[in-house]
Chain A
């Protein structure tokens, strides 16, 4: 009796393990899941690029800040032509910053439902959500590149 129970138990366990392995292999081979996974790679790359752009942005801002303090403290008078160029560049900078500010909270809003999508294995919607986040990342990185270009020009003009 005991022998039969043990045999049945072993067979059940064997079947269970087998079924689980098949399910796991099947999931990793799912092309929709693989597509979503590929988007994660892009997301990580964009995130890294964003950090690098911000790093140079911080450096430029620090240099400009120090120059502005020097101009203020020593009452340095800027040439009219430099003043005109700086005013135009500052206006452009404000416009780019406003566009950047407009994206604030957009990634957060899209991220809220992601965990549920992963749990539900809704790979198609997950991929679409990742793509929407990537689009925001690219917009931000593009704007930050433009902002850094403007800051470089401003930094070069300031005495």
Chain B
């Protein structure tokens, strides 16, 4: 009975040890998420600017 308890105790000890040793999967942090969002936003804004960029019309160019 004592031996059985010792084995169970050892198993429990090993299991809890494994929990500490096991590395957590790396997670995408907030800094990366906000950086990606910022970059995406500037890219979208550049697209908008390009599409609405004002320019001089051909009729306003003096020819000949």
Contacts and interface: CB of A to CB of B under 8 A. Distances in A.
Q: How large is the interface on A (under 10, 10 to 19, 20 to 34, 35 or more residues)?
A: 35 or more
Nearest to A60: B43
A87 B50 contact: no
Nearest to A109: B54
Main secondary structure of the interface of B (DSSP, over half): helix
B32 A83 contact: yes
Contacts, number: 85
A12 B26 CA distance: 94
A84 B28 CA distance: 14
Given A75-B28, A87-B31, A93 B42 contact: yes
A90 B56 contact: no
Interface residues of B, number: 29
B31 to A, nearest CB: 6
A118 B64 CA distance: 12
B50 A64 contact: no
Contacts of B53: 104, 140
Candidate in A40, A44, A147 with the most chain B CB atoms within 10 angstroms: A40
Given A40-B62, A90-B38, 6 more contacts: A37-B62, A54-B50, A107-B54, A110-B56, A111-B60, A114-B56
